[in-house]
Structure 1
Amino acid sequence: MQNTIEFFKYQGTGNDFVIIDNRDLQFPKEKGIIETLCDRRFGIGGDGLILLENDPAADFKMVYYNSDGNESTMCGNGGRCLVAFAHFLDMFEDQTTFTAIDGLHEAEINNGIIKLKMIDVDSIKTIDGNFELNTGSPHYVTFVQMLKDYKVFENGNKIRNSASYCQEGINVNFVEEISADEIFIRTYERGVEDETFSCGTGATASALVFLKDKNQPSVKVKVLGGNLKVYAEQDGDSFKNIWLEGPAKQVFKGKISL
């Protein structure tokens, strides 16, 4: 007997997700099913799938899967989209808290713009002039010129599958400085194994590297799918009060048979 479920499609600066209200815990968390739902030809299509579940310590819980069907680490844009979805369900008015794989998050919504508090970052590791840090997911950050024409897939895939990262994988961010308060980034995401239109934890990681040792509280982040903004406070080698801000929208909803 086929099981029919209701789904919602959301996107945050082009980073798109299948979202399911799983507070009744009826969704079958099977890799093959999740992979098919995220397939752009044979399913709904998305960079990932997110389940909204109950949590006794917060308003709700976020469970995130990459499009390869595997449960993954924190997704910043996915978190913002889930906040928009929870607001659509009337679960809160303008401020909320939720738990994710990396801990508790705060968020607020104002006219479709979601501001999400990210985890603190203890340090940024420098590797041959490039950078490595964890903003809820592991990220590699490198600065380049002429990013618009840069071979992101080819070079991102090479770094992600290099000897240093092939086991656990890493997200690779290519960054170009536009001005003193704006950067342009493009990201190759592990688990998707391709470039995405936007990556929230990648935007955060790139912004923190850019803000390092600068006396400024925020930076605008341009991505292929639109514009984000990252706020942070530097404290020695660490960052705290990190917020990721940007739009998140419901694209469509429907039902699908599993």
Structure 2
Amino acid sequence: MDLEAVCGPSVPFFKMQGCGNDFVCVDNRELGYDPEAMPDIVVPVCRKAFGVGADGMIFLDHAPEGAGLAYIWHFFNADGSRAEMCGNGSRCAARLAWMLGIAPASHVFGTDAGPIEAAVDPDSNLVTVRLTSPKDLRLNIDMEMEVEGRHHQMTLHSVNTGVPHAVAFVDNLETVDVWQLGRTVRHHEFFNPAGTNMNFVAVTGKGQLSLRTYERGVEDETYACGTGAVASAVIAKELGLTGEETAITTTGGEELGVILRDGKTYLRGAAELVFRGGFYPQSLGIES
């Protein structure tokens, strides 16, 4: 059977995951999708069960001439919202770009948050990215909220590590209602109009944290969040709970390394190509 005669032309994609954060990636240099049209592609493709299913979608594209960048990306959350930055997504994009020959192992690419330096280890699945410097640090925010009709009070901290993050330290991660509390903080008026991601963190040892994250744009708990890991490490260091290097265990059981040294911020962890394929826009209700 001629599949294209039945389903229409397919669009090649690569499925990447970084510590459980999964992304549909496409090489847009030849496809030439207009960024304005990308949200209409992202939502049906990222939809679980009915599409490929992912936390977000990455379009690799040509960098402007003379920009000094190997490429740029267009990054979208699963709900179609464009995000300035994604730590795990940046590691996935960098490794895929190296695998496809778009960029050398060490390169710089463009994001809405600014240029990102990436170093792909050719002999393993590890990728290190230097993220933009954290900003808008606020400590010890006393937050009051209503959760399912009950009054709740929390002490939060916040910082922007490419995207906004709130952080709360807890004694027991297993008992935290990440979905209810995370959703409430994410939409709290204090963080209007953009909202925030919400991280719940436990100190598990010297230089060690465990993390659960409710992600804005995914609107649910995810297996990992790179910028959330960095935000948690930044605030833990500010509070004297950790030092320059922090090992962070994510919900998916993977480990991310955060290094904060000499005013520079690095995120290190695994990035894997899980599979490649082609999706059919016609079947997903996407107009050509």
**Residue 49 (1) aligns with residue 57 (2):** yes
Helix, strand or coil at the partner of 2:29: coil
**Which contiguous aligned blocks of 4+ residues in structure 1 show a shift greater than 3 angstroms?**
none
Q: Mean Cα displacement is larger for which, 118-127 or 210-219?
A: 210-219
6, 10, 15: which one aligns with 1:4: 10
Structure 2 unpaired stretches of 5+: 1-6, 143-154, 282-288
1:165 Cα deviation after fit: 2.7
Q: Which has the larger radius of gyration?
A: 2
- One-letter code aligned to 2:243: Q
Contact 2:165/2:197 (<8 A) preserved: yes
The residue that corresponds to 2:25 in the other structure is 19
Q: Distance in 1 between matches of 2:193 and 2:243?
A: 36
210, 214, 220: which one aligns with 1:184: 210
Identify, as 1 or 2, the structure richer in helix.
2
**Residue 97 (1) aligns with residue 124 (2):** no
Q: Distance in 2 between matches of 1:175 and 1:245?
A: 19
| TM-score (norm: length of structure 1) | 0.93
Instruction: Check 1:161–1:213 CA distance in 2 against 1; reply closer, same or farther (3 A cut).
Output: closer
Q: Distance in 2 between matches of 1:79 and 1:178?
A: 27
1:75-224 equivalent positions in 2, closer than 5 A: 75-110=86-121, 111-126=124-139, 127-128=141-142, 129-212=155-238, 214=240, 216-224=243-251
| TM-score (norm: length of structure 2) | 0.84
Helix, strand or coil at the partner of 1:164: helix
Contact 1:54/1:60 (<8 A) preserved: yes
1:93 Cα deviation after fit: 3.4
1:124 Cα deviation after fit: 1.7
The residue that corresponds to 1:243 in the other structure is 266
1:213 Cα deviation after fit: 5.7
Q: Distance in 2 between matches of 1:132 and 1:142?
A: 9
Contact 1:10/1:251 (<8 A) preserved: yes
Helix, strand or coil at the partner of 1:156: helix
| CA deviation vs aligned residue, 1:209-254 (integer Å, no higher than 9, x gap) | 11126483210011012110000126xxxxx210000000001110
Q: Distance in 1 between matches of 2:73 and 2:210?
A: 28
The residue that corresponds to 2:258 in the other structure is 230
The residue that corresponds to 1:256 in the other structure is 279
RMSD of equivalent CA atoms: 1.6
Structure 1 unpaired stretches of 5+: 235-239
Q: Distance in 2 between matches of 1:185 and 1:161?
A: 20
Contact 2:55/2:218 (<8 A) preserved: yes
- One-letter code aligned to 2:130: K
